[in-house]
Amino acid sequence: MASGTPLSRRLWAASSATATHCLFHPFVVGVGSGQLPMAAFQQFLKQDAFYLHGFLKAFAYAVVKAEAPADAMVLVDLMHGVNSELQLHASFMESWGIPAHAIDATSAAQATRAYVDFLLATAKTATSVAEILAAMVPCARLYAFLGAALASARSELTGELMGDAHQYAKWIETYAAPAFEAGASDMEALLDSVAEREGIDEARLQPLYARAMQLEYNFFDASFPVQRADFMGTTALAYDADTATSILTTQPLAPLPTVSKLSLLAAVLAIAAGDHSDPIAHGVRDGSEDDRAACLALLTRSPGATATEAAPGVPRVLCIAGSDSGGGAGIQADMKTCTALGVFSTSAITAITVQNTVGVHGIHGVPIATLREQIGCVLDDIGTDVIKTGMLGSAAVVQCVVDAVKDRNLPLVVDPVMVSTSGHKLLELDAHHCIVQQLFPLALIITPNIPEASFLLNGRTIATVDDMKVAAADLHALGGSRYVLVKGGHLEDASSVVDVLYDGLSWHCFQSQRVATINTHGTGCTLASAIAAHYAKVPDMKAAVQNAIRYVHAILVGSQDLSVGCGAQGPMLHWL
C-alpha cells in the first residue's frame, strides 16, 4: 500500500475479503434482490435498533475521552447523525410491519450482544479516541459500501426485475445516499487525524477494525443464516459445483458482444430475483478474486450448510479454576470477566470452596477423573483460543491439567493461586514443585503477585519495582514461560500500582492509580482472565496485559463504594 494512503483506507483494504463476503451474504443479496423474507428483515431491524443504542454509548465514551475540543465537537455531530438514523428507523418500522413498542420489548440476540459488548468494552478501556473509532468506523464504512454497491448493481438490471416496488428500496437508498457517505468519511477523517496526532501505531488499531468487521458478518448471519440461502430459488443453489467453480475461477474473458456487461453482483441479484438464464451471460466471470470467492461460496452452498462454515468464530477462553461460592473470585470472576469483554468462556472446576466475604470456610476437591473429563469434552467439542488456570490446589490436579493440555498447543495463562486474599492457603506444598517444573514450562504467561513471587523464589524480599524486575527475570529462568507478569498491588505505595511484564529480553512497567477500596476480592483472577480474554481476541501480549490492567482498574473504580457482605473484603462488580 502506498505510504500516502490514509490509515482508515489501509484498515478498510486489509478487511476487503470480509467486506466482500458481507456483500455476497444471503441476507444482503436478499435485500438487494427484494427476495429476503420480511420476517428476517424485521428481526434485523429490531436488532439493529438495539445495536445503534450501544453505538451511541460508544460515541459518548469517545466524547468524554477526546483530548481536543474540536474532536469532541465532531463526535457530537456524528452522534446526531446516528440519532437521525434511529429516527429514520422508527419512521420505517410501521411500513415494514413493526409496531413502535416492539423495539422496547426486543432482547439482544447473541450476535448483537457480542458486538455491543465489544464496542463498549473497547470504549471503556481505550486510552485513545483512535482505538474507539477503529472499532466503530467499520460499521459506517461497510454500510456505505453495501448501499452504494447494491444501488449500482440494481441500476444495471431491467425494471422488470428491479422495479420501484422493490420492498427494501428505501433501506438501500438510505445507505447509498451522499449524506451517509459523508458521515462515514467524517468518522474516517477523525480516526486518521487522532491516530496521527497521538502517534497510535496501525498494528494497535488493525485488530480492532478486523474484529468489528467479523462481528458485522456475524450480525447478518444471525438475521438470516447462510444455510437458509435456498430462499433465492433452486437455480442459485442447483448449479453443479464443478460448473460453478469453472465459471468463477476461469480467468476473465472478454464480454460476449451480444450481451450488455453486468457486474458480478448484478448477476447474483438477477439470479436471486428469478432470472434463471446462464450466469455466464450476466458477466459472472467478471470481478476481483475476492468477489469471485464470495460469489462461489454463495452459489455452491447447500441448504444444509452450517453458519459456522463461513462465519468467523467468537473468541473463546477455557477457565480451569475453583468455584467461589461468594461469587467474587475463582471461576465466577473468570467467567464474568470474559463475558464483560465479549469473549465466550467455558469452565473446568477443580474444587468447590465454601466461602463468603468473611473468608474461606472449606475446600472440597473435584475427583481427578471428573476434572479430566471436563477439560477433554470442552476442548474436543467447543475448543478454545486460550486456557486460563487459577486455583489448582494439589499436585494431582496440576498433573491432570498438564496431561490434558500439553499436546494441545494452546496459549496458557497461569495464575499461580497459592493463598487467598484473606490469607487462606489454597495450594498444597507438594503442588509447588509440580507447578514450577511441569506447568510453568507450558505457559505463555504466569501472573504471580508479590507474595506468590516471593514464595516461588524461596521467600525473597520484593519491596521495590527494581526488585520486581529482578524477580520477573528469575521466574522466567525458573519456569520457562514466555512471559512473566509480577503484579505490584502489594507494594507499599499509597498513590499508584506498578505491574512488571518481562518477555525474556526487556521489562515493561504499567503504572495505574491506586484505588482506595476494600472491594478487591478476586482482582488476581480477574486480571489473569482479562489477559486471556484480550489475548483470545488479539494475540498481542503487551496489549493484552495493558488492556487487562485497565479493565481491572475501571471495575475497581466502579466498585469502590459497593457494599456486599459483612466481611473486611468485598467483591467487585463486573460490567455486563
Residues in the chain, pLDDT under 50: 1-2, 158-163, 231-263, 276-287, 299-312, 576
Distance from the Cα of residue 296 to its chain's centroid: 27
The widest CA-to-CA distance across the chain, in whole angstroms, is 86
The one-character DSSP state at 438 is I
Q: What is the DSSP letter of 262?
A: -
pLDDT on residue 196: 94
Cα–Cα distance list, 365 to 272, 371, 397 (Å): 59, 10, 9
Report the run of H or E that residue 318 belongs to, with start and end: strand 316-324
All three cell numbers of 462: 520484593
Q: Strand 316-324 and strand 507-513: pairing?
A: unpaired
Question: For 155-165, b where at least 16 C-beta lie within 10 A, e where not — what string?
Answer: ebbeeebbeee
CA angle 364, 367, 369 (to 5 degrees): 160
Q: Give the residue among 521, 195, 106, 550 at the shortest CA–CA distance from 327.
A: 521
* 67-97 pLDDT, tens digit each: 899 999 988 888 887 777 666 666 666 666 6
CA distance 548 to 340: 12
Ramachandran bin of 389, using left for φ above 0, alpha for ψ from -120 to 50, beta for the remaining angles: beta
Alpha carbon distance 300, 347 (integer Å): 38
d(CA 165, CA 12): 33
How many Cα neighbours within 13 Å face the side chain of 281? 8
**CB burial class (10 A; 0-12, 13-18, 19+) of residue 503?**
middle
Q: Which of 446, 471, 442 is nearest to 457 (CA)?
A: 471
pLDDT single digits (tens) 363-417: 899 999 999 999 999 999 999 999 999 999 899 999 999 999 998 889 999 999 8
Q: Which CATH architecture has domain 7-227?
A: Up-down Bundle (1.20)
Give the pairing type, strands 316-324 and 386-389.
parallel
Q: Could you tell me which residues are beta bridge partners of residue 499?
A: 510
Q: Given this model, what pLDDT does residue 282 score?
A: 43
CA–CA separation, 440 and 413 (whole Å): 9
Q: Where do the structural domains in the chain lie, given as residue ranges?
A: 7-227, 316-559
Strand order in the sheet with 360-365: 360-365, 344-355, 316-324, 386-389, 412-414, 445-446, 483-486, 496-502, 507-513
d(CA 258, CA 264): 17
The H-or-E segment that residue 17 falls in is: helix 16-23
> Which positions are catalytic?
487, 520, 522-525
pTM of the model: 0.57
- Grid coordinates belonging to 195: 491516530
Q: Which among 330, 278, 319 has a CA at the least distance from the CA of 522?
A: 330
The residues with which 511 forms a beta bridge, in sequence order, are 498
Supply the pLDDT for residue 111.
Answer: 86
Q: Which CATH superfamily is domain 316-559 in?
A: Ribokinase (3.40.1190.20)
Centre a 10 Å sphere on the Cβ of residue 342 and count the other Cβ atoms it contains.
Answer: 23
